[in-house]
Amino acid sequence: MSNILLVLRHEFTTTIQRQSFVFASIGMPLLALLLFGILPAIGSRSAAAAENSSESSVMVEKRKEGFVDASGLVKKLPGSMPPEALQRYPDEASAQQALQSSQIDVYYLIPADYLKSGSIIAVWRDFNPIAAFGRTQTIQQALQFNLLNGDDRLVAQINNPLKLQTTLLEADARYDPDNPLTFFLPYTATLLFYIAILTSASLLLSSVNKDRENRMLEVLVVSSKPHELLAGKILGLGAAGLIQTAIWLGAAFILVRLRGQDIPFLKEHPITLELLVAGLLFFTLGYALYASLMASIGALVPNMREASQLSFFLVVPMLLPLLLINLIIREPNGSVAIILSLFPLTSPVTMIARLVSASVPIWQMVFSAALLVGSTYLVLRAVARVFRAQVLLSGQSFSLKRFWRVLSQPE
């Protein structure tokens, strides 16, 4: 069996058997499913049940309200209001008697100058500040109805004067900008993608360092060519990362299926097959590029501490789309979003943000993927120069001078 395959299998199996990997791959989605899928579903069912019961209790309580109209405004009650919801009393004495005999909990005195003053007196059997707020709705509704001469349509219009319909100049924008999920979904997808690529690429850095810390490098470079080691590691850890990403995407899909019925937005805009395919493609390409870069750091530094410091500079370009996420989501086909989705170091993450926010022209996706493939090839060639036995075993600290010297050496 080729050494690349052996290294691939070794890296893949040791990685997927690691507890931290298992937790991140399975535990995290399970937790997310529990937190965002199952518990809210149970919660919403309970809430629905509670709502039904509270509705009925409100109905019961509505029957316990009364009013005395000295102004003569309230001629009739709205048709939608159950007749027993609000009792009319001819005078305060009869209303008071009804209150004392617990037939009602509250009665309202509408004074003769109500139209002038707008004041109403509420008389409670006992005061409950929390319960009090909800109880004025019935009398308010009755007053509003009569102020508008009993026009139901007008009442509805005053209650909800604005039925906003947004028209976008960009015809391909996918989501309603007034919907808060328009921001939430692309942001979550972008963040998850950023984490997926970074986590998988970092596996490579930690793998090279593990070989060094376990003092295995010298034996390994005698047993296989460094470029075989590099290729095996990139492929093996990439496969592990791909599986992790696929599990995450699968969990997101299940989550959407579970909760999508409750959220009309997700119902209208499901996770499409194209989005899944594009996601896996850009994950793979982004991983290949960043993993190669991480491998060069792993080869050039003597320990994990230095590797972590140096890898921070690599992460910065990937952070850029996250920092500009508002702009990318608001203008997914704007010039900033397009440039960032074509520039190889930022394109994997930006493209996902754009794909979730809007329709992206096919030529841009193809061009972006081609640029990623090309730059990954160039980076891999450079990394092959770095990933050599002499460099791996040198144990020297990183310096730019040394980096250029290694790069300029013949293969």
Partner 1 sequence: MNCSNSAVEVSHIYKSFGDTRAVQDVSFSVNPGEIFGLLGPNGAGKTTTLRLILDIYRPDQGQVCVLGGAIDEHRKNHIGYLPEERGLYQDLSLERVLLYMAALKGVPKSQASQRLAEYLDFFELTQYKKKKVKEMSKGMQQKAQIIATLLHKPDLIIVDEPFSALDPVNTQMVKSLLVDLSRQGVAIIMSTHMMQQIEELCSRIVLINHGQVILYGELAEIRRQHKGHAVLVRTTNPLPDLSGVTSCTSHNAAFHIELDDVTTPQMVLNQLVLSGAEVEQFEIALPALEEIFLRVVKV
Taking the alpha carbons of 78, 82, 83, 87 in that order, is the dihedral positive or negative? negative
Question: What residue has token string 């617990």?
Answer: 102
Strands 106-110 and 86-88: unpaired
* Shortest Cβ 394–partner 1 spacing (Å): 8
* Shortest Cβ 210–partner 1 spacing (Å): 8
φ/ψ of residue 149, rounded to 5: 55, 35
Contact footprint for partner 1 (CB under 8 A): 1, 3, 6-7, 10, 14, 210, 214-216, 218-225, 389-390, 393
Judged by beta carbon, residue 272 or residue 390, the one nearer partner 1 is 390
Spatial distance between the Cα atoms of 403 and 384, rounded to a whole number of angstroms: 13
Contact between 388 and 225 (Cβ < 8 Å): no
- How many CB atoms lie under 10 A from the CB of residue 156? 11
Judged by beta carbon, residue 19 or residue 165, the one nearer partner 1 is 19
Judged by beta carbon, residue 54 or residue 399, the one nearer partner 1 is 399
The pair of three-digit structure tokens given for residue 79, joined into one six-digit string:
């048709």
Q: Which of 292, 319, 296 is nearest to 307 (CA)?
A: 296
Contact between 38 and 258 (Cβ < 8 Å): yes
Nearest 5 degrees, angle CA 347-CA 351-CA 354? 140
Spatial distance between the Cα atoms of 325 and 190, rounded to a whole number of angstroms: 8
Spatial distance between the Cα atoms of 215 and 222, rounded to a whole number of angstroms: 13
Judged by beta carbon, residue 130 or residue 222, the one nearer partner 1 is 222
* Shortest Cβ 336–partner 1 spacing (Å): 45
* Shortest Cβ 217–partner 1 spacing (Å): 9
Judged by beta carbon, residue 212 or residue 354, the one nearer partner 1 is 212
Judged by beta carbon, residue 264 or residue 395, the one nearer partner 1 is 395
Q: Which of 212, 214, 234, 197 is nearest to 384 (CA)?
A: 234
* Shortest Cβ 215–partner 1 spacing (Å): 3
* Shortest Cβ 227–partner 1 spacing (Å): 12
* Shortest Cβ 224–partner 1 spacing (Å): 5
